[in-house]
Every structure is written in C-alpha cells, then in structure tokens.
Structure 1
C-alpha cells in the first residue's frame, strides 16, 4: 500500500509543480514518446510476439502504426485543441472577453488490456500527456513481456515523476485502485470494469471504460463463400478475435460444413495464425469467449 501511495503521491506532487502544463513541455514529452517507439520498434514487436505470437505485419499495423499515427495527429492538432475557445456573449458578458480555457484534470490512471498490450496503454497515455496530466500506467500482467518492456522504456524517455509505470497482477491493481485519481481509463471485461467503477466511486473519480460488445457477422446463402470466409475469419486471426469492433459470432445461411472447411484452410493454413489460435485455445480460453462459436468448426491444426 505504501509503495502505491508513494508512486501516486510523487505523480501528484509533480503535477502540482505545474511543469506538465506548458504546451511546449507536453509536445516535448510527446516527441520523446515518438522517439521511443521509433528507436525501440524491434524490441516492442519482439515482446508482443513473445506474449501473443502476433506476426510482424499484424503487430506493426495495430501496435506501432496506431501509436505513431496518434502521436502525429496529437502533436499537429494540440496547439488548436489547447487554445482558449471563444464563446458567444450575452447581456451579462457583452463587455467582456468570454472564452473556455481547458485545464488538466490531475493524475490519470491508465489500465491496459492483454490483447493489444502496447497500443491500449500508449494511446490513452498520449491523450493524458497532451492534456497536461500526470499519468500512472498499469499494463496487463497477462502480456508480461510487453508490460516489462513498457516499465523499462518509459522512464528512459519521459519525465519519471510525472509518468510512472506499475507492473504486477491483481494484488497490485487492487492496491492501486485504493488511491485517489482524477480520471481512470480501463480497457477489458465487464467484471473488472465493475470493480474499477466501484473503486472510483469512493473518490467520485470519473471513468472511461471500454468493455467490449457484440459484433455479429451475417453470411447470406447467396454470398461468395470464399470472400465471406476470408472477411469473417480475419477477426479470428490471433488476438484480433478479442477486438471489440470485430465479428465475434456468425449467423450463417449456408452449409456450416462448407464454411468450416473454408475457414479451416484459411486459418490453419497460415503458420502464425495457427500458432496464435492454438495458444489462445490453451492459455486464453477463459478470456476468449468470442472464438468459441466458430473455432469448434475448424478442428485442431493437425486434423485432416
């Protein structure tokens, strides 16, 4: 408990010093984060592959390009986003200069998810830095290699007091949630989301929760089976199946056997995808309900 108090207390003291507020400082920190991603790209991709067996193109497009794109957009738009916004005057303010000035909240907690272990902590971190906040980052312990790398790299590039990283599992997260934050961002399942929201309620802390949803895929009997299978099964490629915006179950108006045969050839025929699916079946079945609707159609990768 004392360790978490010290981490959050140090971040709050750094925030109260005012050094995270100037626009120049925020952009400087964002540029440092950009440099980190560019210089440590190979290490980041290696950690993600060790955790999830994501292939290079998959990990690079989702995790690296996603972060670099967010950084580029934020640094380009931040001066206009942070500028005072004039508002319409009324009889009481007609002789005044009326505008809205955006203020940082304070200390923000970011809790990431296992399926996109890098981008889902980096993108909220980028937004929090851009807004002038201090941040405590808690990567998912399930993707332990990526979590360890994030904890190692961030202090090398960013302000150590303003931007802290906490690693560990449920006990560490539970202790962290006893502390008071000014905003909490969590990506994951609804069960943990309820715990996060209950902890935040004790301090009246606002939360942003990304808890998933249902994304049905409808396959008509008159469709091109090969195209439909290729499009539908892309959401079963590795941990992408846990992505909230991707199809997680299929309503099929055609022969299930024909669809299953196409899907099995497509998915098991690619070594990287086959290894990812096998790993998910073995290690992530408790966290991976979407795939259970289609995966039984495929059979094991070694079956004929």
Structure 2
C-alpha cells in the first residue's frame, strides 16, 4: 500500500535524512529546518495516514540503529524532534511535547501536537494540555486557525478526550487573533465543513455576537441556516460526544446519538425581523428554516400570518412552498373554527 509520504518525495527524503544513523548533533538543526519547511506544503488532510507513515519511518530508523549498534565508530541516534510526536513510544511523544514548546514551525506539525489530546496514553494527554496553549500562543494565528479548522470538524468523535482536554482547545481558540481568523474563514469559505466548525466554535462566548453576521453574510447556505436557527430559538448548541442507544436489543441493533450542550444567546433582533430576513435569503435551505419557524409561531404572529404564509406558499422551491401551504391550511382551519366557538 502506498504511503501518503510517498506523494511528497522531498519531504520523505528530508525525514529519512534526519532519521539516518550517521547524523551528528551539529547537523540536526539544519535537517530539522529542512523538514519544517517541507511540511508547510502539506495539506491538513489524512492526518491518521500521515501519523502511520511517520511512525513507520521512526520504527525503521530505530531498527537500523539497533542492527548497527555493535559498530563502535557509529554514534547511535538519540535526539528529540517534532517527528517523535508520532512515535510508537508514549515516553517519546511526551518528551516531544515538552521539548518543542517554543512555537510550531508549520501548521502540519502543530496539528500533530493537537492530536495528542486524543492520545491513548494519559500522561501524553496531560503533557499536551500543559504545553499546547503556550505553543499555540507562540505560533502564527493563521496556522492555529487552519489546524483548528481541520480538527474541529470531527473532534467530537475523539473518545479519549476529557473535559480538560476540550477546555485546552477552547483556550487556544479563544485568543482574539485565532477567533478572528476562524470567523473570517467561516464567513468566506465556499466549500468544506464551515457549519460543523461553527457549531464547535459556538463554545466560545466571543462567537455569540457574530451569529447575526453569519446569518446575513456567510457564503455557505448551511452556515446561514444554522445561524438563523440559533437566532430563532435563542440558543446555540454543539456536539460534545456520542452515546450508544439500543433500538432493538433482541437483534442487537442500535445507533450512536450525539450528546449536545447549549448556551443562551444574548438578546438579538426581534423575531419578525429575523423571520423576514430569513425569508428573503437566496437559498431555499435558509427559507425552509424560516418556513419551519413560521409554522411554529403562527399563533403569535397575528395579522401578518396570512401574508407571510401566502408568500411562503408561492416560493419557487417545492419544499418551501409545501410548508407555506401547510401554514395556510392551519390558518384556514383556525378561521373556520372561530365562528363555531363564537356561536
């Protein structure tokens, strides 16, 4: 099976040169700088595969060092680098976190560090909690935001993370330059997990004041729809994990259900202003959310209910128009029942 490392021959060569048995202490800094520069070109995807590839290279270099250890004229390799974050030895991963705490030379290496918050060794996770906030504060805010973008999408599936580990990530994302970079990316990106990242960023109180901006100006319809939904209900929510629920014990069938946390949003624009803004959105996904809350609040809207229901029923999108027709039926049934009750 081809390794992802093979797709980047320059990086593969730099890593193998760094890990070779003949490297002297004076050569390590230059070789590590070469590795750092090459990792800047690596996209933050398939991180599991990248860890396996680097771990294989570390394992191969250690085996080679063991086989030649009897040669007294060859110095055994022993120095700690960023690559040891992928080592099979938990003590080496912990040492890599504690040694490399100045700043991350690339987003790729910082991502390897943040992934240690889900490490299978508790001591490594503890070291990550202690060192990563300082490491992130010394790194480029855009690199930190890019790493969080790649991790927040699926970190709710990381079963080994504890509340303290999540608090460490929240502390990193709460830094103003990082949160502003995340906000800009959520607003402007045309593809990708922007809505999922927004849901996880809802943990940050700084994002509460930006919900209206996401609803009005985000490029992706999924982001605008989610922001409008939060504005309608007055609460933001995010996934903290998943739990197993049996649906049929006799046949051993079940499913994983998300565990949600939520927080009240500060008072924002009135319901009618939010509803009209959502109904005018160019995406049917957002207009469906508006139609849903129109149906929910028919009784409290008053005289505008018929006008808004007719407007929704005439929407060019069939799924939105269907909801508008349902709202009209509800209003007509209410009007038909009113004379009987009066009599």
User: Is TM more than 0.5 here?
Assistant: no
The interval holding the TM-score normalised by the smaller chain is under 0.3
Which has the higher relative contact order, 1 or 2, with Cα contacts under 8 A spaced 6 or more apart? 1
- TM-score, normalised on structure 1? 0.23
